[in-house]
Amino acid sequence: MVRPRKKRRIRSMPTSASYKPEGIPAREMRGVELPLEGLEALRLVDAEGVNREEAARMMDVSTPTLCRILAEARRIVARALVNGWALRIEGGNYTVADTEAQKNCSPGHHCRRRNRRG
């Protein structure tokens, strides 16, 4: 029996759910899907510069799992950009992080929440 996948923690839902090249109607172009956990990995590591170990803790996954999520997300984004495809941000296996814990974080400071299991 296969072990169920652990949900990845993301901080919040994206402000925009899709991106596409300018001037081409969406119905006329091919698109790819970027899972929300892929966007979160890109945000943490590439946009905010968080090291991979810390990003893995923030997403509640192992470092090798984060590296796989990140590699796949980069591949999806690169294919969309190179081929002029639409990029839809949706789906995945995730849970949204506790917003109360995030309120105490200032921009540029990364909260460290340990996984507390009872």
pLDDT at 116 over 60: no
In this predicted model, what pLDDT tens digit does every residue of 21-59 receive, in sequence order?
999 888 888 999 999 999 999 999 999 999 999 999 999
Two tokens at 101?
């814990």
Cα–Cα dist 118/116, whole Å: 7
**Residue 34 and residue 89 in contact, taking contact as beta carbons nearer than 8 Å:** yes
List, for residues 53-111, the tens digit of each pLDDT value: 999 999 999 999 999 999 999 999 999 999 999 999 999 999 998 754 444 444 444 44
Tell me the C-alpha distance between 91 and 88, whole Å: 9
Q: Supply the pLDDT for residue 99.
A: 55
Contact indicator for 41, 66 with CB cutoff of 8 Å: yes
- Percent of residues, the chain, with pLDDT higher than 90: 70
